[in-house]
Amino acid sequence: MSDAATYNFGYLDEQTKRMIRRALLKAMAIPGYQVPFASREMPMPYGWGTGGVQVTASVLGADDTLKVIDQGADDTTNAVSIRKFFERTAGIATTTHTSEATVIQTRHRIPEAPLREGQILVYQVPIPEPLRFLEPRETETRRLHALEDYGLMQVKLYEDIARHGHIATTYAYPVKVDGRYIMDPSPTPKFDNPKMDMCPAIQLFGAGREKRIYALPPYTKVVSLDFEDHPFERTKFDRGCALCGSEGIYLDEVVTDDRGGRMFVCSDTDFCESQRAAPSEAGHGLHEVPR
Amino acid sequence: MSAQDDRPLLVAEGLSKHYGPHLGCADVSLDIHEGEVVAVVGESGSGKSTLLGLLSTQLLPSAGSVRYRMRDGEERDLFALGEAERRFLLRTDWGFVHQDARLGLRMGVSAGGNVGERLMATGWRHYGRIRAEAEQWLERVEIARDRIDDRPDTFSGGMRQRLQIAKNMVTRPRLIFMDEPTGGLDVSVQARLLDLIRSFVGDYGLAAVIVTHDLAVARLLSHRIVVMRHGRVIETGLTDQVLDDPREPYTQLLVASILQA
């Protein structure tokens, strides 16, 4: 680093980081509980991940390696700008490889490669309250959480089945954490819900505009809500990735021309690249991925 | 009807409620037995709704107590219950029918979802069974089965009230509070609703506290009547007795003014 005036490490001042770490500790102690925190203005608009950025800034150390993904991709605007933000304000190493990263900030996907102990996954959360659209009063939803009064959440799933014949919620699919709190897993596709269960990595959720932090400590039980006769089902795709051929992973639809041409490719760009780089390693280029 | 227990279901003693310097109701004592319908009548501002709010623990009294005999037979002081226990009571052993159906129903949720909510809140997790139960209750309140997926905002006023009743009855409550249940309905719809409530009281041994300013409703439904004025109970007794032979001048006035119509 030069002698020129620079940002404090990770942009936020130390007092703020300390305040956020306190909230994080509380959140880790009560898995799934939404801890209020004094969210700061960040040099980016709400909705771009201000909550996630504050959490990331508070957990980063000088020897951390950061990966940022936006819908699974390392190379889209949100991911690129947040990665640059921390390169500039914290001077830390960054990577696109899931296995090399110690901190991963994500907007709505969990990487396909399994996470391990010692890694931290930071989610950007737009709306932390799973009951928000069922009960608009925040005073009331807090009371419902406190009293574990969750019939309402089940009513939402009931309505889904009544209207569509199946549970039509495909993202922000509500989960029960450690047998206690109902949590909105941020708008991750429900495909990723099973990855949250008993995950060895720390999972932190930051909602900047809503000023809430919640967390899943490693190896926390996370159960997706359902009915006995309409059990939770993971999204299934009837094909593999058009680029790497992998199956059983989450695919993005990409429109390729204006005549209806389209292809389905891995949403996780790092995973796709690594599969194409080493096809022989795991067989015939078609791989079942461990969840 | 289970007549094994002669103790009253609910006992209110010396209930008073002040809103700042204003009196809501004063020194009201009341027993409600299983399978008994009690009507609370009086003019607007006489403290009827305050009393209902106190009995159903939605308001905190300035003085007095309400005891309730739980399903396990134990009598509990309602204002000493924890909030979780009170809520559980409210959505299992009690019902509350509002005059404005909007307060009692979720207007954005289908009729089936409305009826199923209490079941799901008490741990039902089988969609097919919840739906079957909801269908049965819709039928009992004379709502066609094929309306189960329609939202209550597409229902008529009378249907909404019947849906409210179904929503409450699904957990087989022993006590139901009603605040002007027939308010704003036309006479024929009122008659049907009253008929329905009467049959539920008979079939399920339901006890009810009905607040109304309509003496005809009180006469049709209730066994006992409580007349309120200026926040105090001025006369109580068997409904027929009070309405046919009122003692208090105010009750006489009330009865006379209604019967003229």
Q: What is the pLDDT, as a whole number, of residue A119?
A: 97
3-state secondary structure of B166: helix
**Does the pLDDT at position B239 exceed 70?**
yes
> By C-alpha distance, which of B52, B58, B143, B65 is closest to B99?
B52
**Euclidean distance between CA atoms B258 and B250, whole angstroms:** 12
A281 pLDDT more than 90: no
Q: What number is the ipTM of this complex? A: 0.87
Rounded distance, CA A239 to CA A261, Å? 16
Q: What is the pLDDT of residue A239?
A: 92
So what's the pLDDT on residue A60? 96
Residue A280 has pLDDT above 60, yes or no: no
Higher pLDDT among residues B5 and B124, named by residue: B124
H or E element: which one contains A164?
Answer: helix A151-164
What is the predicted pLDDT for the residue at A287? 47
Put simply, the answer to whether A162 touches B110 (Cβ < 8 Å) is: yes
Shortest alpha-carbon distance between residue A147 and chain B (Å):
6
Report the alpha-carbon distance of residue A224 to residue A205 in Å, rounded.
Answer: 17
Token digits for A89? 């304000």
Report the pLDDT value the prediction gives residue B169, as an integer from 0 to 100.
94
Q: pLDDT tens, B205-221?
A: 899 999 998 888 999 99
Distance from C-alpha of A227 to C-alpha of A230, rounded to nearest angstrom: 5
Q: Which residue has the tokens 């720390």?
A: A202
Listed by number, the residues of chain B in 176-235 with a beta carbon closer than 8 Å to a beta carbon of chain A are: none
The average pLDDT across A14-42 equals: 97
Q: What is the DSSP letter of B257?
A: H
The active-site residue, picked from A32, A49, A52, A206, is A32
- Chain A touched by B12 (CB under 8 Å): no
Sorting pLDDT into bands at 50, 70 and 90, what band is A106? very high
User: Chain A window 224-243: which residues touch B at a Cβ cutoff of 8 Å?
Assistant: 226-230
Percent of chain A with pLDDT over 90: 89
As a whole number of angstroms, the distance between CA A172 and CA B55 comes to: 40
**pLDDT of A31 higher than 70:** yes
Over residues A227-234, mean pLDDT: 94
Give the residue from B146, B165, B109 showing the smallest Cα distance to A161. B109
- Of the candidates B84, B112, B130, which has its C-beta nearest A147's C-beta? B84
Token duo for residue B149? 């997926």
Residue A199 annotated in active site: no
The pLDDT assigned to A168 comes to 92
Is B126's Cβ below 8 Å from some Cβ in A? yes
Q: Please report the DSSP string for B31-81 in residue order.
A: EE-TT-EEEEE--TTSSHHHHHHHHTTSS--SEEEEEEE-TTS-EEEGGGS
**What is the pLDDT confidence band of residue B230, given thresholds at 50, 70 and 90?**
very high
Is the model's pLDDT at A286 over the cut of 90? no
Mean pLDDT of A274-282: 73
Whether B209 and B38 have beta carbons less than 8 Å apart is answered as yes
Instruction: Return the percentage of chain B with pLDDT > 70, whole number.
Output: 97
- Burial class from Cβ neighbours inside 10 Å (0-12, 13-18, 19+) for residue B51 reads buried
Chains A and B: how many Cβ contacts under 8 Å? 55
**Full DSSP string of B137-160:** HHHHTT--GGGTTS-GGGS-HHHH
User: Is the confidence at residue A288, as pLDDT, over 90?
Assistant: no
Task: Please list, residue by residue across B135-145, b when 16 or more beta carbons sit within 10 angstroms of its beta carbon and e when fewer do.
Answer: bebbebbebee
Token pair 């049907």 is found at B192
B121 touches chain A (CB under 8 A): yes
pLDDT exceeding 70 applies to what percent of chain A? 94
Q: What local confidence, expressed as pLDDT, does residue A284 receive?
A: 45
Candidates A52, A206, A208, A244; catalytic one: A244
Q: Does the active-site annotation cover A244?
A: yes
Digit-coded pLDDT (tens) for B68-112: 999 998 999 999 999 889 999 999 999 999 999 999 999 999 999
- Indicate which of B85, B119, B120, B124 best probes the interface with A, i.e. most A CBs within 10 Å of its own CB: B120
pLDDT tops 70 at residue A3? no
Across B158-173, average pLDDT? 94
3-state secondary structure at position B26: strand
Angle at B174 between CA A155 and CA B172, to 5 degrees: 40
A32 as an active site residue: the answer is yes
Please name the residues between 143 and 182 in chain A that touch chain B, using a CB distance below 8 Å.
143, 147-152, 154-155, 158-159, 161-163
d(CA A216, CA A204): 6
- Alpha carbons B10 and B80: distance in angstroms, whole number: 15
Strand ranges of the sheet holding A175-177, from the earlier edge strand across to the other edge: A181-183, A175-177, A222-224
- Which residues on A lie below 8 Å from B121 (Cβ)? 149-152, 154
B132 at A interface, C-beta within 8 A: no
Global confidence as pTM: 0.87
DSSP state of A172: S
Q: What angle do CA B105, B111, B113 make, to 5 degrees?
A: 85
Q: In chain B, whose CA is at the least distance from the CA of A167?
A: B127
Per-residue pLDDT tens for A138-185?
A: 999 999 999 999 989 999 999 999 999 999 999 999 999 999 999 999
**What pLDDT does residue A211 have?**
97
Which pLDDT band, with edges at 50, 70 and 90, does A95 fall under?
very high
Measured on CA atoms in the order B136, B139, B141, B147, is the torsion positive or negative? Answer: positive
